[in-house]
Structure 1
Amino acid sequence: MAILAQPSADGQELHISIQGRFDFGAHQEFRNAYERVEVTPKRYVVDLRDTTYLDSSALGMLLLLRDYAGGDRADIRLINCNADVRKILAISNFEQLFSIA
């Protein structure tokens, strides 16, 4: 499992890629990805293209990111979700909290 964070050139957006299993074992690495960047982005993109597994603790981590990014005012997109991940997000009603593409 690897989590990579890349701010945009202008610092307005943070792109976070999650590779492999997104579960409790990724908790600290995921938090570091958005808390320890040198910019304060206005938008977050979580790329789930290479995410093979997502559990309830991952859903909680996404909610923590949402709180950190401003709660209801947060601009967070979850992109490149495979069918299994999209199903978990739909069951959890995350489309009401995040933009899912």
Structure 2
Amino acid sequence: MSNLSVVRIPERFDFSCHKKFNENTEQVLKNTQVKVISLDFSQVTYLDSAALGMVVYLHKKAAAANKKIEIINASGVALEILMVANINKLIEIK
């Protein structure tokens, strides 16, 4: 089994995604084999402050579980928002 798990983020990443995002990430956080959680932003065209909060909170929970978070495939407006919010100082963006 791989020590990497990819969580695909929907095109519109906002508070309406909260429940599903938490369900998906909780499963990954409980998996002791997984050491790195990649958030795949390839489909994201919109994200709001609630989405940023979910990512930051996931980072905190992952750190407590001794796991690393990374963001992959972010581009366009989504990447700009992540950079303006300084998420790159907390989480590596690849």
Select 1:88's aligned residue among 49, 73, 81: 81
Map 1:16-95 to 2 at 5 A. 16-37=7-28, 39-40=31-32, 41-70=34-63, 74-95=67-88
Alignment TM-score, normalising by the size of structure 2: 0.87
User: Larger strand proportion, structure 1 or 2?
Assistant: 1
Query: What CA RMSD, in Å, does the superposition of the two structures yield over aligned residues?
Result: 1.6
Give TM-score, length-normalised by structure 1. 0.81
Flag the structure with higher helix content.
Answer: 2
Q: Is the CA contact 2:45–2:76 (under 8 Å) kept in the aligned structure 1?
A: no
Structure 1: any 5+ residue segments left out of the alignment? 1-8
Q: How many residues matched?
A: 91
Quote the sequence identity (%): 34
Whose relative contact order is higher, 1 or 2, with alpha carbons under 8 Å and at least 6 apart?
2
Name the CA distance, whole Å, in 2 between partners of 1:19 and 1:60: 16
